[in-house]
A and B are shown apart, each in its own frame.
Chain A
């Protein structure tokens, strides 16, 4: 059976035996970095293509269909075009911050990749405070967006950045609280522990209605945090033309664009890990035979499948709903999501104490 775990351990063993202790570690680090960047590029291309196809089919269109079979090279061609374009810096812009901002956004997105378990025992860094780390780092992205909006010296950008800041800061709360619900149930902040606690069933099934509520709130919060419609106020193109990245062009624009999709992927990956069991196959209690069959599907496929399902859900939102207004957006968070998730957290704590889950 194919397993990423074996592949990694073979490579690691080979490096250890040929290079010796410090060098092998350094080479591993470089390899991991390269793999992460490659993963980003591929993910970006795949997700943009997926988005365009999903959008097209919902809008009774065909979508990209010219470059390559089914248009699969369309996004590659677009990226090539963006790479070749001139990266303009406006005259009145703060040049240093303007050029730094896309990298800030990108680095923030990359950092969250560390604790994500892509497959069984296939994780860059199984940090003991994994969930906390994710919550902390994901709010760093807003600095990049604020930087971009402020330094562009464009009023549309500034409004977009301010909206984005207000939005991310607010929705961080309910995202954190809904993650916390699972932390209470599983009793650990470590990602691998959370996944292992779902060996006899995913939390969304084991946790009954309170966890489903937490899951819905989490999905809404992720949509908002990644600035996706119906919460795409930061770039609301019918109001602010393109929001905080109005002035960006070429590769710097591409980095923002990529970061948006990476953020979606990461948000959905976290959601899949916490609520849907990550790489954990679908297990039901003590049905040994059924569980065994499920184990035959590689763990990486389970993870990717769940993540793609969540990504699809978020795309589905985008291509169905109109955009909220800025005050409604904040009302939704502070009047509805936050109280609900707080009460929900209490209920879940009670559940955890009394052991009211499977």
Chain B
């Protein structure tokens, strides 16, 4: 059909945004809007304007004025990505009495001005995009958002500092919280640390009070030694299936007196909490201040589960709280929102062969050193070599191990510089040893961080700028015999140096949890190539995700230190509290609907739907979509052989005419050529 014959039935307004020079710098906006006004008349365009900042209140008023005065029935805004400002302009239309869903926002910034340099080509593309938007908007229909109630409870996954902070914020506001933790106790990595930079206050001293608060809080249900298995539903109404692993302890009877782990004859190397430096029993709490106080029996190492005899713990338990027959328990909880604070794993320094970790006894990882230096740790806080007695006279601390390295992880782990400076201080303070810090760049961007750096320099730490090439025990001269030699180019001198030390500490980087991709899938959020979870907006919305009702906090979003994790925990909580207060939430009315008349009852769609939202009426022999369950992916729409299913907001008419619109320009060209 040639455009001329078509009879415009809608009154469309087109608004082209300059976005300062962001768009106008590349796209000739004036030309574009003029073109729209002249060439899209057949589609019903009666006005086209360009303006510096459409999203500004003045820009919005401009649109609203036209809606009122020119009786616009459709609005097309050509500006940034709909993911940024769709809501803004829809509300503007609403304000002027036009149904918000009769407004279409097309992106000529992210997908045009910002990615092209050829101005003519970019301007042509903008025209095409707009003509596509216009062609599409005509087929929009007035819609009302779906309103669903929000369940007041919140699920928080991960009992580290970020999760703890979020839990307390929400619980204190009077709303129920389920806190799920994989380990037997909450506390996370922070519970393992010795001192915290830059203030050097003891990690446990500031963390344990919070852990106790969580333990005692009436609004918090702790589900430790548990993991989330399945998440159903959608924002406001999630149904979460959780597996509570058997503790083999009757928590209602257990007093946490500790006799069981005193009496337990089975020693196990504790490679979790003590990072492999210390031992625990087969029945244990990870650390004295554990919350909850109840121990767990580790059924892989427990003699009873291996040999079928022992039961020492049971014999001595004063309250008969041991129950060897306990089974894993599957429970389901209803929540309205979810916070993921599952934290990080430590980079395995064995992967850097030239640093000899795992091969050379006195090369330690940062987590090992935290335990070594921790007064509650295996050495009672004495910094000694692997032999358990010798105090090192010289220590080398290597920054950026596995970080900022294309062979391992590209990113900067953010905490290593400050952590390494902290280590330097602790070694100085406790052993008086000579300390070398080997760094590429020192990064101390936060409050009081650089002052800390200054302090460490003042304490006499020797800084060598250079990424260490290798740590070896191959001595080249008597001076090196029996030492670890750190070989490095001192880049500020421009010469290779070999520095003999007694102990090497590797500041290994932070990595996403080994199962982060699986977790992301379980909760339906996206995960970067590295494995960090992706926030809705890197700057403006760092704790929300693309999935409504699922939030992220702490290192799960990317490497960060304790203050930053606490901030995110609190921020996520605040976002959710705001939601809960609303009692209900408006959902995009993007849903599929089935026209009973046309449905042949073939049931193809039933199996296609991932949310089982399509039910089949045996009586009428037709399928029906449950709008509450439907997420609007549209797969069924595309699949229906009878064309009986239509997807609101993404109907065939809308898309087909958008295609026409996008191609209009070259149709003209082709005609011109012909």
Indicate, yes or no, whether A interacts with B: no
Interface set of A (CB-CB < 8 Å, partner B): none
Interface set of B (CB-CB < 8 Å, partner A): none
